[in-house]
Amino acid sequence: MVGHAFMGAAHSHAWRTAGRFFDLPRPVELTAVCGRSPERVRQAAERYGWQSYETDWRELVARPDIDVVDICTPGDSHARIALAALAAGKHVLCEKPLANSVQEAEEMSAAAAKAAAGGVRSMVAFNYRRVPALALARQLVEQGRLGTIHQVRAQYLQDWLVDPQFPLAWRLQKDRAGSGALGDLGAHSIDIAQYLTGQRISSVGAVLETFVTERPLPASSSGLSGTAGSERGQVTVDDAALFTARFEGGAIGVFEATRFATGHKNAMRIEISGSAGSLAFDAESMNELSFHDRSEDAATAGFRRILVTEDTHPYLHAWWPPGHLIGYEHTFTHQVHDFVAAVAEGRDPRPSFAEGLQVQKVLAAVESSAAALGVHIPVQGPP
């Protein structure tokens, strides 16, 4: 694994746990973790249970005792590491968004397709696909329970940047993160909307906004927390992104991704309206899926809340008795399970790098639309 901050911790937990709850077709060994600071990576190895550590990812990728490279670094190094790992014949799991540009994502997708021909697998870590409630939502759509899908409403709401003194962490720097709330949060919404509907987004019209354009440089930062230093720097990404979308199958959608939704911590929400029924999900209540079946008697029909904890629900046979809830970390454990199963069975896991590229194209189109003031026509003022 390369990187050992927030995502590195989540992935380490998943690699360690997957084989203890699921029957994995191949055993998993946490062979080595990589980070630039020798002291910090040594501590991470010890804390998260990695057998050894490296301080240069090139050394890690070259090691003959490693079969899989898991990329948990900021977006600016995804392409380099993934291309080198695939060239060295390692299977690759890469954090989202796949890259910082369409060009990088294209290279990665082409390399992944070439490697797959030789049995080397790759996957993007869009972990929300592995929320049991959303996996169930996908099953309901596949069974036709929603009928023809007309509309998608997707929001991803966080508030950790409302404080203007929050430091200029890497997630606020375009050269490191690619974009702001758009790529960090909106990428999840785009992936899940396309996955659930089975339709790709074909056009967008967007607005991006940066509310706080200058922030203190970090004295230290990790994950979503940090300490401000005395110097200041420019924020080069969006704080909030809004866009409308058309899907290839005829559906339309409205998307919102923001780190300024005061009071919302991790509200990754999606609602899908179809001719036969509707679905609604909110990650702040991630064990629940709301479902409305339009064929029910109108007198008593309505959204009903499904508690997604039955052992017949996706992934849940491996966990607790009904009603005993699971959380965010489980989505990463499920992701490891699916990845290892696909590698062992010689299948291409999903989401593929090609699907990651498609998300990247939507992100790029959103940025282009916002920059050109796209399809938005100024509303005339009073006469």
Please answer whether residues 85 and 69 qualify as being in contact, where contact means their C-beta atoms are separated by less than 8 angstroms.
Answer: yes
Least separation in angstroms between residue 184's CB and ligand SOE is: 5
The beta strand positions in the chain, using DSSP E, are: 32-34, 52-54, 68-71, 91-95, 122-125, 149-157, 201-209, 214-222, 225-234, 240-247, 252-258, 267-274, 277-282, 288-293, 304-307
Pairing relationship of beta strands 68-71 and 91-95 according to DSSP bridges: parallel
> Which one, 145 or 264, has the nearer CB to ligand SOE?
264
Q: Rounded to whole angstroms, how far apart are CA atoms 290 and 302? A: 9
Report the chain's terminal Cα–Cα distance, integer Å: 62
Q: Rounded to whole angstroms, how far apart are CA atoms 136 and 146? A: 13
Under the criterion CB under 6 A, does residue 5 sit at the interface with ligand SOE?
Answer: no
Please answer whether residues 209 and 246 qualify as being in contact, where contact means their C-beta atoms are separated by less than 8 angstroms.
Answer: no
Under the criterion CB under 6 A, does residue 73 sit at the interface with ligand SOE?
Answer: no
> Which one, 101 or 266, has the nearer CB to ligand SOE?
266
Q: Rounded to whole angstroms, how far apart are CA atoms 329 and 234? A: 33
Size of the site for ligand SOE (CB under 6 A): 6
> Which one, 185 or 365, has the nearer CB to ligand SOE?
185
Please answer whether residues 84 and 335 qualify as being in contact, where contact means their C-beta atoms are separated by less than 8 angstroms.
Answer: no
Identified binder of ligand SOE from the candidate list 184, 191, 238, 256, rule CB under 6 A: 184
Which position's Cβ is nearest ligand SOE?
184
Least separation in angstroms between residue 178's CB and ligand SOE is: 12
Q: Rounded to whole angstroms, how far apart are CA atoms 204 and 369? A: 7
Least separation in angstroms between residue 221's CB and ligand SOE is: 12
Please give the residues from 185 up to 204 whose contact with ligand SOE meets the rule CB under 6 A.
185
Under the criterion CB under 6 A, does residue 158 sit at the interface with ligand SOE?
Answer: yes
Under the criterion CB under 6 A, does residue 221 sit at the interface with ligand SOE?
Answer: no
Please give the residues from 262 up to 321 whose contact with ligand SOE meets the rule CB under 6 A.
266
Least separation in angstroms between residue 65's CB and ligand SOE is: 30
Residue 250 has a CB neighbour count (10 Å cut-off) of: 11
Pairing relationship of beta strands 68-71 and 267-274 according to DSSP bridges: unpaired
Least separation in angstroms between residue 110's CB and ligand SOE is: 25
Under the criterion CB under 6 A, does residue 224 sit at the interface with ligand SOE?
Answer: yes
> Which one, 97 or 205, has the nearer CB to ligand SOE?
97
Please answer whether residues 294 and 283 qualify as being in contact, where contact means their C-beta atoms are separated by less than 8 angstroms.
Answer: no
Beta bridge pairs of residue 292: 278
Least separation in angstroms between residue 135's CB and ligand SOE is: 16
Site string for ligand SOE, 227-266 (x = CB under 6 A): ---------------------------------------x
Least separation in angstroms between residue 4's CB and ligand SOE is: 15
The two tokens of residue 91 are 């299977």
Least separation in angstroms between residue 256's CB and ligand SOE is: 14
> Which one, 158 or 333, has the nearer CB to ligand SOE?
158
Residues that bind ligand SOE (CB under 6 A): 6, 158, 184-185, 224, 266
